[in-house]
Amino acid sequence: MTEPKRKDVPGGGLDRLVKARLLVEAALDKKAEDVIALDVRELVSFADTFVIASGNSDRHVRSIVDGIEEALRAHGEKPIGIEGTEEGRWVLIDANDAIVHVFLRDVRAHYDLERLWSDAPKLTFVGAGGAAEATR
C-alpha cells in the first residue's frame, strides 16, 4: 500500500494525520504509556503535531524512541534530530512536521506539556487508514 503524500510539501513526506498515527502506533508497539497526539498547527509554526509518550525506565524510553525511528525510516522518513537518548529521561525526536517527546513518567509529570499545550486539540484515531478526529 502506498502512503498518501503531504499536499503542502512538493514531492514528499507523509500526510500529517498518517504520520501522527504512525508515530502513535510505533510508540504503542513498544508498550509506551499515556500516548497522546496534539494538533498544534494553530499554535506553533514549526510543527503540525506533538506526540507525547511515557516509558517506565531509561531503557524503555530508548526502546520506544528506536521503534519510532524504525517506523519513520520504514516509511521513507528520517528524523531531523534526536536529543536526550544518552540519559533516556526525556527524548525529543524532531520528525520535521511532527515533534515526539518520550519521557520517564516522573519527568513528564514535572514538565506537564499537556497543560502547557492544553489549547491544542487532541487527535483521536478511528479505524484503519489514518482517519482522525480532533477534540479539545
Give the mean pLDDT of 67-92: 96
**Alpha-carbon span 112 to 106, nearest angstrom:** 10
**Contact criterion met (CB below 8 Å) for 102 and 32:** yes
Residue with the three cell numbers 503531504: 6
For the 16-126 domain, the top CATH level (class) is alpha beta
Q: So what's the pLDDT on residue 128? A: 52
- C-alpha cell read off for 99: 515533534
Q: So what's the pLDDT on residue 126? A: 73
Task: For 17-38, write each residue's pLDDT tens digit.
Answer: 999 999 999 999 999 999 999 9
Domain chopping of the chain, boundaries: 16-126
Task: For 60-71, write each residue's pLDDT tens digit.
Answer: 999 999 999 999
